[in-house]
Amino acid sequence: MSSNVVVIGGGAAGLAAALKASEEKCDVTLIERDSDVGGVLNQCIHNGFGLDYFKKNLTGPEFKEKLKEKVLSKSNIKIKSGAFVHSVEKDKNIVFIDRNGVNNLKCDSLVITTGAKERPFTSLGISGKRLSGIYSAGLAQKFINMMNLRPGNSALIVGSGDIGLIMARRLTLEGVKVEGVIEIMPYPGGLQRNIKLCLEDFSIPLYLSRAVKYVDGDRRVNKIITTKVDDKFNHIGGDDITFNVDTLVSSVGLVPNVKPFEFLEHSAGFSTTNKNRTSENWIFSAGNSTVVFDLVDYVAQEGEKAGYMAALQAKNDLSPAGKIKLLPGKNIGILYPSYIEKDYESKIYLRARQPMEKGVLLIPELGIEKEFEDIKPSEMIKIKVPAFDKNTDRIEVNLNELK
């Protein structure tokens, strides 16, 4: 088997990448490990997707169907679902396994869009018993929305990331009493609109600077003791709140999936250039396998670009260019991409380390200075940078607070 472009992972980024590469007249194979494409969109039945990419307010499954329909209409895209990638070999051979056996697939270029996984609650080193009733938010969402299973009667949400907020509302709507959402940081982890729509509208309290101290119960959770934390996350005594609930839903962060491609340069996710190129010239990556984005729209846009670049690479139309390291400076949490190829425009995404009423983004090497208001770590700051000709080996990005 062979294909000009292979895309691994059929979520929003992968579907968009396959589509774009096919429009560039490449034969594309899309490999998906689950039984259907769509990734996490399948279980996100709430709306709020597509406002930027489709200019419409869609649910997750609608967003996926719109992309999938287009993909299915292309005769030069093959979808292999239920297919698990075993390895990628340097001679551009991809080994994947499905119910038919072990398969080899040759390609000219590869796009990795493997998304992210949830950080498990068990990894946090929290005191207490090992009990039933502790679920990651995504798993709880899958139980309710896709498997028709109610994971408990009353719940505390740990972590105010978007999935946690969405689940607070979802559980409430399905008759599970949500006693609150606790967040270890002094500010919420999810989008402001989700705080409003998922918590405030349902009178669900949000407790900031608060962490789980002890999980108790008798084979099933029945009590969660929480405590106030200082800015170094040390427990402060004297202000404990006990929640008598049978379910703990954790939303404590996402981790990019880089397996089994660890041979590529990566920190949390793959380090890519503004052309979505990884440390191997013929391998591209986009979406949450690079950094965790706040909106699926950006994931799809980046996927499209990766598909386009992979198609150029397959046709030998993409010249290897020098990479300039993009360095996170002051107050920058997450910065994307990792490198810039200066003969092409860039869209830089970043997250601030802490909220700021007003701040100024400084990229001295490129002469960029731009003010932003109401900066929140949960919402990415985006800035477009055109192609440039300056000679430099590093570009530092800083965010200075303005008082």
Partner 1 sequence: MIAIIGAGVTGSLIARELSRYEKDVVLFEKNFSAGRGVTKSNSGIIHGGYDDPPGSLRASLSRKGNILYTELSEDLNFRINRCGSHVVAFEKKDFEYINKLVKYANTNGVKSYEIIDREQLKIMEPELNGNALGSFFCSDSGVVNPWNVAVSAVTNLQKNGGEVYYDKKLIRIEKINSGFRLFFEDGTQYEADLVINCGGLFADEIAKMAGDIVPEIFPVKGEYYLLKPEKTLTNSVIFPIPDENTKGCLVTPAIDGGYLAGPTAKKVLSKYDNTNTEEGLSEVRTRAEKLVPNINFRKDPVKTFAGLRPETEEKDFYIDVGNSGIIHVSGIRSPGLTAAPAIAKYVTEYIIQEKLGIKLTERPDFDPKNNVRIIDSFETLEEMNSFIKEHPDAGEFVCYCNKVTKYEIKKAIEQGARSIEDIKFLTGASFGECQGGYCTGKIIEIMLQDKRVKPEDIILNEKNSWLFSSEVRI
Residues that bind partner 1 (CB under 8 A): 33, 82, 84, 86, 95, 97-102, 117-118, 120-133, 136, 138-139, 142-144, 146-153, 174, 218-220, 235, 246, 259
Residue 147 or 236 with smaller CB distance to partner 1: 147
Q: Is 398 helix (H, G, I), strand (E, B) or coil?
A: strand
DSSP class of 277: B
Rounded least distance, CB 83 to partner 1, Å: 9
Write down the least CB distance from residue 95 to partner 1, Å: 7
- Give φ, ψ of 335 to 5 degrees: -135, 135
**316 CB-contact burial (10 Å; exposed 0-12 / middle 13-18 / buried 19+):** exposed
Q: How far is the CB of 89 from partner 1 (least distance, A)?
A: 11
Dist. CA 162–CA 170, nearest whole Å:
12
User: To the nearest whole angstrom, how small is the minimum distance from the Cβ of residue 397 to partner 1?
Assistant: 23
Residue 221 β-bridge partners? 217
Of 146 and 387, which has the nearer Cβ to partner 1?
Answer: 146
Residue 86 C-beta: closest distance to partner 1, Å: 7
Residues 263 and 308 sit within 8 Å (Cβ to Cβ): no
Chain centre distance of CA 166: 15
Residue in 26, 65, 70 with CA at minimum distance from that of residue 49: 65
Structure tokens at 20: 């774009």
Cβ pair 389, 369 in contact under 8 A: no
Beta carbon nearer to partner 1, 10 or 152: 152
Residue 19 or 167 having the CB closest to partner 1: 167
Residue 131 or 334: the one with the smaller Cβ distance to partner 1 is 131
Q: Which residues of 289-300 are buried (b: 16+ CB within 10 A; e: fewer)?
A: bbbbbbbbbbbb
Kindly state the smallest distance separating residue 352's Cβ from partner 1, in Å. Answer: 21
Q: Measured from the CB atom, is 236 or 387 closer to partner 1?
A: 236
